[in-house]
Amino acid sequence: MSLPNELLHSIIEYLAYIPKLPNSPSKSQLKCASPELLALSVTNWRLRRICLHFLFANIKIRHIKDARRLEDSSLVLFEKFTKLLAIAHFSRSEEDDQILYPILPCMKRLEWVELRFCSARGDLLKAILALPSVSTVLVEQLPDASLHDNLSKVLYEGTSTTTTLSPDLERRLGQGMRLGRLEVLGPELLDDDFGQRHFAGLEELRLSMRRYPVSFSWLSALSLTHSSLKEVWLIDDNRHYFRRHTPIFISSFVEESQRQDLSKNYIIKRVGLRRGTGQCSQDWCVMSLTIFTTFASTSLVEILTLVSTSFPNLETLTLDLDSHKATYDVDDLAAVLSRCSSLRVLFLHNVFKRLRFGSRCLPTVCRANSTSTLDILAARAASGLSMFTSRVVKKVLSLDTIYIYDMGYEYEKFGSGQRWYLVGWLHVLNGNRDVDGTVRCKNGTGHCNVRLGTKMISRGFGMESY
Please state the pTM of the whole predicted model.
Answer: 0.82
Distance CA 219, CA 239 (A): 23
**CB neighbours of 220 closer than 8 A, spacing ≥ 6?**
195, 279, 280, 281
Q: What is the signed CA dihedral for 119, 122, 128, 130, rounded to 10 degrees? A: 160
The predicted structure's pLDDT at residue 65: 79
CB neighbour list of residue 116: distance below 8 Å, 6 or more residues apart: 25, 28, 86, 87, 88, 89, 140
pLDDT at res. 459: 37
Q: CA of 112: how far to CAs of 108, 134, 180, in Å?
A: 12, 6, 15
Q: Is 349 within 8 Å of 318 (Cβ atoms)?
A: yes
Task: Select from 274, 273, 248, 339 the least CA-distant residue to 300.
Answer: 339
Q: Which of 321, 405, 395, 398 is nearest to 355 (CA)?
A: 321
Three-state SS letters, 15-55: HCECCCCCCCCCCCCCCCECHHHHHHCCCCHHHHHHHHHHH
Residue 18 pLDDT: 79
The reported pLDDT for the residue numbered 364 is: 64
Task: Return the bridge partners of 438, or none.
Answer: 425, 451
* Number of CB atoms found within 10 A of residue 200's CB: 16
Q: Which residues contact 452 (CB under 8 A, 6 or more apart)?
A: 365, 382, 385, 386, 389, 404, 424, 426, 435, 436, 437, 438, 439
Residue 115 near residue 140, CB atoms below 8 Å: yes
Question: For each successive 10 residues of the chain (466 residues), what is the average pLDDT?
Answer: 82 82 72 85 90 92 81 76 88 74 89 84 86 93 81 86 80 90 91 89 93 94 91 94 95 96 93 77 86 85 96 96 91 96 95 89 60 79 91 94 91 82 86 82 69 51 30
Whether the CB-CB separation of 60 and 49 falls below 8 Å is answered with no
Contact between 307 and 289 (Cβ < 8 Å): yes
| Vertex 300 angle, CA 366 and 325, to 5° | 70
Tell me the pairing of strands 401-411 and 416-428.
antiparallel
Nearest by Cα to 334 from 286, 265, 260, 385: 385
The CA-based angle 355-361-366, given to 5 degrees, is: 85
Q: How far apart are CA 408 and CA 31, in angstroms?
A: 34
Contact call for residues 257 and 303 (beta carbons, < 8 A): yes
Q: Is 406 within 8 Å of 424 (Cβ atoms)?
A: no
Provide the CB-side half-sphere exposure for 356 (13 A, CA): 9
Residue type, 426: L
Length of the chain equals 466
390, 384 in Cβ contact below 8 A?
Answer: no
Half-sphere exposure of residue 295, counting CA atoms within 13 Å on the CB side? 0
Q: 238 CB contacts (<8 Å, ≥6 apart)? A: 210
pLDDT value of position 285: 93
Give the chain's end-to-end CA distance (angstroms, integer): 39
